[in-house]
Structure 1
């Protein structure tokens, strides 16, 4: 066997093992969700006899997953829209507009990436409690924006730094204001990075449990991931229903990644190499 083939197998085998380790939990959960409680108790690892939708219906309606799903969609959509708006404006300003303190401001955003949320969760909870934002949709949207804005600003600044300054100067000579340059030039040119950071922020917000649990304590305003964690205690004796709830929560994220994986990779790559 040639050295090239040996080197290829040394790469393929670990990657195949990693892929199997990633896919197997999803397949196992889908198999458990298709079982009855009796089938699960008898043998949790055997294949389900047939595809059953009863567990999904119970998780969606009886367990309140429909309400949690709607809460997550509303909060994530609003948070991502606000993140893209503020992040793209800040990225344009920090990369193309020269003003005093811009470098220090960018370094501050970069430093904020290294601060774990657990460090600021107590001050955040106190501040939001004093301003009446606890257990409100705007409160959770602002919390997500504050948490993920440094990443958004960093990526957009890195991407916009690679745009030649001559384009900006030409647009200003044509009579565009700063806002006009941002709207007519920077937004269209920044679509790859905007798509990438928007999808990544959507994944971050959708999968979050800690921030949503801190800001939204009531059962009515729970997000989907917090609702899934509550199912574990509510349906501790009905694991197939709990597994169905887990699949309902994971399916939107999985579909989003499958449909936009190329855009995610391309956007992150372009933004990093141009910066």
Structure 2
């Protein structure tokens, strides 16, 4: 009994410290965002005595966070939709449709996961510039799809591989075409994985800075995270306003995680078990 309690504490204490280390930066940022510049300069770590909401208003309107938020929503929504469409189709084909080279295609997608974006950054920028896609929504959307599609295909292929082939054979006997099997069988049965992968891709696209900074150089088309990084230079002497921008950018991600944490965990382990 003592051994069980001791083992529980051995796991609980490090997990509690890890949770505290994760939550503290967010609480510290919120505390700084609600301070005045004078209060922050006098004492950075003390609790704010009054809620100074003007910093959030300044970051939202004067800096242009509202425009950056709209840009991020447009790009993330379109990118996730295309990733789920292409990823589910490719996952279905690679898991249940046997064709010459299917194994090589899957291994190629798997190998693409290990290629850092910095390796393909310059060639991608040249291709996008030649196509007139720099500083456009389609250009950034295509860049996100190209970057995160291998991950999506890998998870959807792994998940669809757990679906028995007899179900697909029965659907084909009933007169369904390949497209009919995909639309009527695979999409409904793959809904849990699609939700999980969609949330993960949304977080990846939302938190990205490097790809967006490369593809969207103008201030008008900046995404939210790039806008936050630009605040550091504009408000280097006004840390509360900068912290307000960071807080605005972090809140949507925090809300998504709180409501869909089970789906996120399921997406990481999708297809890891059979049955």
Shorter chain as denominator, the TM-score bin is: over 0.9
In 1, Cα distance between equivalents of 2:57 and 2:190:
42
Q: Deviation at 1:53?
A: 1.2
Q: Quote the residue 2:91 is aligned against.
A: 91
Q: Quote the residue 1:37 is aligned against.
A: 37
In 2, Cα distance between equivalents of 1:158 and 1:115:
20
TM-score by length of 2: 0.98
1:134 matches 2:134: yes
TM-score by length of 1: 0.98
Q: What are the Cα deviations for residues 131-151 of structure 1, in whole angstroms up to 9, with x where unaligned?
A: 000000000000000000000
Q: Quote the residue 1:54 is aligned against.
A: 54
In 2, Cα distance between equivalents of 1:204 and 1:11:
29
Query: Mean Cα displacement is larger for which, 46-55 or 265-274?
Result: 265-274
What are the residue-to-residue correspondences of 1:105-184 with 2, within 5 Å? 105-184=105-184
In 2, Cα distance between equivalents of 1:266 and 1:220:
37
Please say if residues 95 and 161 of structure 2, whose CA atoms lie closer than 8 Å, have aligned partners that are also in contact: yes
**Structure 1 unmatched runs, 5+:** none
Q: Quote the residue 2:10 is aligned against.
A: 10
Please say if residues 33 and 243 of structure 1, whose CA atoms lie closer than 8 Å, have aligned partners that are also in contact: yes
Please say if residues 155 and 270 of structure 2, whose CA atoms lie closer than 8 Å, have aligned partners that are also in contact: no
Please say if residues 158 and 274 of structure 1, whose CA atoms lie closer than 8 Å, have aligned partners that are also in contact: no
Q: Quote the residue 1:212 is aligned against.
A: 212
Q: Quote the residue 2:104 is aligned against.
A: 104
What is the RMSD computed on CA atoms of the aligned residues? 1.0
In 1, Cα distance between equivalents of 2:116 and 2:27:
32
Q: What are the Cα deviations for residues 236-270 of structure 1, in whole angstroms up to 9, with x where unaligned?
A: 11100000000000000000010000122234334
**Structure 2 unmatched runs, 5+:** none
Query: Mean Cα displacement is larger for which, 44-53 or 141-150?
Result: 44-53
The count of corresponding residues between Structure 1 and Structure 2 is 275
